[in-house]
Structure 1
């Protein structure tokens, strides 16, 4: 009976513990994950280009606002100059 008990304990240890052979262990260490795509030679982007941050919608709106604001400021300056020229013409 003691012999059967020892054998049962050994079987449980094998069932619970890792049952790997030396060859399997070597294969496991050398395995290659085929799910990860390798570098694509067709796409010639540098890492910097690939990792470039795309501006958010808010940043794009802000840039557009600043550009339009600068254009309006130039128009205001032109209109003020025209106004001054008209005043000078009326005074003459």
Structure 2
């Protein structure tokens, strides 16, 4: 059973113990969403750094492969001889022509 005072209070929904939210502490939805782009930008930058690093590593591997191919070609074509080897070969050719 309820008292008439309680029924009056309930019908008015008056309660001094419940505080209504103040507008000062409430941030707008736009301000909440402003955090997201900055976090996404950090993630994007981190992703780009990783991609640049892997791209640089790929380029380095490609350069190493090209260098090895060039050295092999030079050896096969006789271009990779040392100065002393060239002098020896020239000397031998001079002997043959004399």
Q: Please report the TM-score for the alignment, with normalisation by the length of structure 1.
A: 0.43
Q: Please report the TM-score for the alignment, with normalisation by the length of structure 2.
A: 0.41
Structure 1 or 2, whichever has the larger Rg, is: 2
